[in-house]
Structure 1
Amino acid sequence: MAVTKIINLTSSQALNRRKFDALLDEVNSVYNGLLMYNNVRWLSRGNVLQRFVDCLEEIRLFLQNQGKVEEYPQLLDVMWLSKLIFFTDIRQHLNKLNMKLQGAFETKLQVFRNGIITRNYKYFPNLKEYINDLKIHEKPDEDQVTEEFISVIDSSIREFSARFSQFKELSEILKLIMYRRCIN
């Protein structure tokens, strides 16, 4: 994809990165560079596209200064740019949805945890059925089982929170940047 190639051109080589950062500084951009997409943090895709779109004029200028603007005719193609901006908006909506779902799931994990503590297996129908079907002498030590299940849920809560903490931080920063852009 052209966006990836352009980001790599401007960001992966130290000299180009310094030149592009200097250009952004020269035009008083609110940004200090482009974001690199990271497969590990797939939610970053929307932020990468947003930064690219926000810096589009600076990217064109940089490529023109480097004598490489002709290699990327998409940057002047109205249809291609329309699609890019449309997909950028869609990705941002997906990011917002994922954040809402993530928050809801974190809350749900706490509800699950409380259910296990009180041995109310309402949210674990298969486990509830299995335990109910066991004969008295076959039943596991409920304290041990409860501890183990709580440990799994606590671990899930920590992992879930850690995976999205950076995105939460970026989300707040993006809100501030977008707010500042609207004021100016």
Structure 2
Amino acid sequence: MSRGKCLERFYALRLKIPVFLENSLTADTSAYCDTLRDPHFLCDMAFLTDISGHLNCLNVRLQGKDQTVSDLFGHVNSFQKKLSLFRDNLASDPPNLTHFPACGELRNDIPELAECEMTIHRYREALKMLQDQFNNRFQDFHDMRGTIQLFTDPISAVVNDQPPELQMELCELQGDLFFQMKRNERGVSFWRLLPETRFPLLRDFALKQASMFGSTYIYVRATSP
């Protein structure tokens, strides 16, 4: 995924590559050229270019510095919502290709417009498979939703839904006007404000959340000499 721009660049050269193969090589390249001019193949390549671009953006966001598990959960959760949006867009007639620029460009270029749109509708199944894979691979994140929400916004957390050992300190925290005024401070910056003598259990909870490695990338950065 770190080479996500490669496919985008190849797609941008899709019209020039067959010309180069035909004019610059002595070997028989007709099979390759025919493939690169086939509407079905071009539709597949355009969709792959677009969805790979979206995945690459997610990959870059997951590699950011100083991110907690809560931040990573937000990125993954947002992308899953985008997948639902993509499926809804492709279900319209004609398909809404606002978030699929390569597919939109191809739809305007190829003469077999209706044929290409029928192909584009099939990509909803591919997006559904991608949704299922995200649900399976990030199930641990979703199982931690309650603790992630508490870490992200303790002032708005429902006390009765929290672990019993944290409820008394959480009542004190939410009833304190000083911390209510600091609710715009999020994540680690908010939890640093809590005095350890007054909120030992909540501080311990926050420390565990903040020290979790949400991705191998962050782990490698933290453990590299």
TM-score by length of 1: 0.42
Q: Which has the higher contact order (CA 8 A, sep 6+)?
A: 2
